[in-house]
Chains A and B, each alone.
Chain A
Amino acid sequence: AQTVTQSQPEMSVQEAETVTLSCTYDTSENNYYLFWYKQPPSRQMILVIRQEAYKQQNATENRFSVNFQKAAKSFSLKISDSQLGDTAMYFCAFMNPTDSWGKLQFGAGTQVVVTP
């Protein structure tokens, strides 16, 4: 079974600064998908970024980028130019595409607080 570990319960960052969230996972699969989801106070889960393991290039979405290290099984999220609206819980998630259901395995989450 796959496990996803987020070792930082909470991170604080000032507006306009950069913060990096760590995520490691354990799997014996070679092809899989990794995701970062944001859950703001509204509790709506929002997809931030998605990475396919067979793609070596790191995914980027505007101010959000990942550092995907497949050999190290690491998938960190960098938030650049942090904004107050980035305050949220961030979850790292793993999906095994050979699992016919497409289940997501979530990490414990990291609470990001952006301060003025």
Chain B
Amino acid sequence: GAVVSQHPSRVICKSGTSVKIECRSLDFQATTMFWYRQFPKQSLMLMATSNEGSKATYEQGVEKDKFLINHASLTLSTLTVTSAHPEDSSFYICSARPSYNEQFFGPGTRLTVL
């Protein structure tokens, strides 16, 4: 099956610093990658959609200058949380879509901002 990795799985940082999360599709090329945020006991909230070589499309209410997304290749997308604050603490999940209609999810990254 299709495998998506995410790194790091867990990160703790100080308020005001930036954190980068990587999402890789290991055995397929992803035409599109998605970034989600999930609070405890809640559903996944789509933050943005990215396509290789083009700017990400952000959902309403998501600050694009705070959550920088780069999709440099068909197998790698990165999410950078800039000037992180405690309210940015959350579980971030990426997914990747191959050419057909399905998404494969990474294992998630738990971000804690102190």
State the A residues within 8 Å of B (CB).
33, 35, 37, 42-47, 50, 89, 91, 95, 97, 101-104, 106-109, 111
**Sampled A-B contacts (29; CB under 8 Å):** A33-B101, A33-B102, A35-B102, A42-B107, A43-B91, A45-B44, A45-B93, A45-B95, A45-B105, A47-B102, A91-B43, A91-B44, A97-B101, A101-B49, A101-B51, A101-B57, A102-B97, A102-B101, A102-B103, A103-B34, A103-B46, A104-B34, A104-B95, A104-B103, A106-B44, A108-B42, A109-B42, A109-B43, A111-B41
| Residue pair B108, A44 in contact (C-beta under 8 Å) | yes
In the complex, the chain B residue whose C-beta lies closest to that of A33 is B101
Contacts of B77 in A (CB 8 A): none
**B6 nearest in chain A by CB position:** A44
* Cβ-closest chain B residue relative to A45: B105
**Cβ contacts under 8 Å, A107 to chain B:** 43
Per the 8 Å Cβ criterion, residues 1-58 of B in contact with A are 32, 34, 38, 41-44, 46, 49, 51, 57
